[in-house]
Structure 1
Amino acid sequence: MRTTITLEPDVEALLKRAMRERGVTFKDAVNQAVRAGLNKPVEDIPPFKQRAFHLGAPLEDLTKALALADELDDITHGWVPRG
């Protein structure tokens, strides 16, 4: 298949290095790189881990705002408190 690709400068440098070290053409270097990337099993990729940070005490008391939001949600969905 013939196609046009736009390479970022760092990828271009890596491909040129692979061409030089392996003595292969640009086409072969690209095909080898794509095969290596696509053949890597997904389970070999470490899972993403998100670090959590304690943000401290809230700066504002949201009790009234949360109560109002809860009340508006009840009204919106047709439930109105009795009494």
Structure 2
Amino acid sequence: MRTTVRLDPEVAAAAEELRRERHIGLGEAVNELARAGLLARDRDVPPFRQRTAPVGLKVDVANVAEVLELLDADDAEGAR
């Protein structure tokens, strides 16, 4: 099938590099890159989980100035 597509510069560069390395046509290089992307997508990758840790200080982040004052006060006490 013949289709016109617009490639982002980094994708075009990757396709051109693959084309030169393997001495293949541009269409074949784009197909190989697309297939590699499809295979990578199908891998079993565990879902991302954000880990947290208690830090002992609870602040209301709605008031940034107040939080900065709290942190500055902690720094001043730690320096003594």
2:58 matched residue in structure 1: 57
Return 47-56 or 26-35, whichever deviates more: 47-56
Long gaps (5+) in structure 1: 61-83
Q: Which residue of 2 aligns with 1:30?
A: 30
* 1:13 is the counterpart of 2:10: no
The share of aligned pairs that are identical, in percent, is 39
Q: Note the C-alpha offset of 1:13.
A: 1.0
User: For structure 2, which runs of at least 5 residues remain unmatched after alignment?
Assistant: 62-80
**Equivalent pairs, count:** 59
| Aligned AA (2:7) | L
TM-score, normalised by the number of residues in structure 1: 0.53
Q: Could you list the per-position Cα deviations for residues 28-70 of structure 1 after superposition, in whole angstroms to 9, with x for gaps in the alignment? A: 0011111222134331x3532435466831339xxxxxxxxxx
When residues 51 and 27 of structure 1 are mapped into structure 2, their CA distance, relative to the original with a 3 A threshold, is same
Q: Distance in 2 between matches of 1:29 and 1:17?
A: 9
Higher helix proportion (structure 1 or 2) = 2
Give, in whole Å, the separation in 2 of the partners of 1:14 and 1:23. 14
TM-score of the aligned structures, taking structure 2 as reference length: 0.54
Q: Please report how far the alpha carbon of residue 10 of structure 1 lies from its aligned counterpart in structure 2 after TM superposition.
A: 1.1
Match of 1:64 in 2: none
Deviation for aligned residue 1:20: 0.5
* Rg comparison, structure with higher value: 1
- 1:58 aligned counterpart, secondary structure: coil
